[in-house]
Amino acid sequence: MHDITPVPALPLGRAHARRLREIYRSAGWPCQDLLEIELLAAGLLERIGSDSGHETLRVTDEGMAHLAGALVRNRSALSKHEALVEQVARDMVRAGRIAWRGLGLRAQLPPQAEGGKLRWCMARPDVFSIRNTSVAEYVDPVVHEIKVHRSDLLGDLRKPEKRAAYLDLGGECWYVLGCDAKGRPIATAEEIPAECGVMLSQNGNLTVMRAAPRRQRQALPYGVWLALAKATPVSGLTDDDQGLLACD
């Protein structure tokens, strides 16, 4: 009789949770790839045979518990990110600017090869703001991209075209960084490309780690103005904010 070597616990990531959700929502038809092998080995999936000889997959009780835990973690991360987005947007309003959250804006990218055609893409900065002015050349557009997890930041920094789109939209582009569970910044200013500014959110305060280089740009294109007109900006000052401006 042969001894069976136990399978060591496998590290499960977002791709595993995403596949579990897909199987839970579907009829359970297998893909027979490495993800499914790992989920089966971890006991999060089980194979179900039918009378016709076909085999489907079912999420086990352990798989449901894993999905529930992933949902809690995702909600926590989203709330942390959304809270910082709200803070930055409100700070822009307090500074006398008009701010929008999660806008979809058409941006221009440089050609892939010298002499090639300019390219267009849709960019969705976390916060986009302009000066409250009636002079089109003075709007001073600024982009803020919010990052609260180091893995998310590193993934973003590997996308130079996304950064190029933000720089096309804004005279300034800032990365706003959160802190980890131990209160440490998720990155240093030196890890962020030099064409972007860096802010740190720590203990509820925003501090500048490195100023953003100011780029000269023409007035906003008509397409951006149209997108701003269709969107709802962040509301004005709250009662608490007004109290900060009150005179003695």
- Which tens digits make up the pLDDT trace of 199-248? 999 988 999 999 999 877 667 888 899 999 999 999 865 444 444 444 43
C-alpha 84/C-alpha 177 separation (Å) is: 9
pLDDT for 4 beyond 50: no
**170: three-class secondary structure by DSSP:** coil
DSSP 58-113: EE-HHHHHHHHHHHHHHHHHHHHHHHHHHHHHHHHHHTTEEEEES--EEEEE--SS
C-alpha distances in Å from residue 72, one per residue of 77, 108, 116: 9, 37, 47
Q: Pick the residue with more confidence: 164 or 52? A: 164
- Between 4-8, 71-75, 78-82, the lowest mean confidence (pLDDT) is in 4-8
**Closest Cα to residue 45, out of 73, 25, 69, 24?**
24
Pairing of strands 197-202, 205-210: antiparallel
**Closest Cα to residue 142, out of 151, 154, 130?**
130
Q: Which range has the top average pLDDT, 6-20, 113-127, 234-248?
A: 113-127
Q: pLDDT value at position 204?
A: 86
- Between 92-96, 153-157, 244-248, the lowest mean confidence (pLDDT) is in 244-248
Share of the chain above pLDDT 70, in %: 88
Q: Could you read off the pLDDT of 173-187 as tens digits, one per residue?
A: 999 999 998 999 999
Mean pLDDT, residues 63-80 taken together = 80
pLDDT for 194 beyond 80: yes
Would you place residue 150 in the very low, low, confident or very high pLDDT band (cuts 50, 70, 90)? Answer: very high
C-alpha 35/C-alpha 22 separation (Å) is: 12
Main-chain dihedrals φ then ψ at residue 227, nearest 5 degrees? -65, -40
Q: pLDDT value at position 10?
A: 63
C-alpha distances in Å from residue 195, one per residue of 164, 166, 213, 243: 10, 11, 6, 37
Q: pLDDT value at position 241?
A: 45
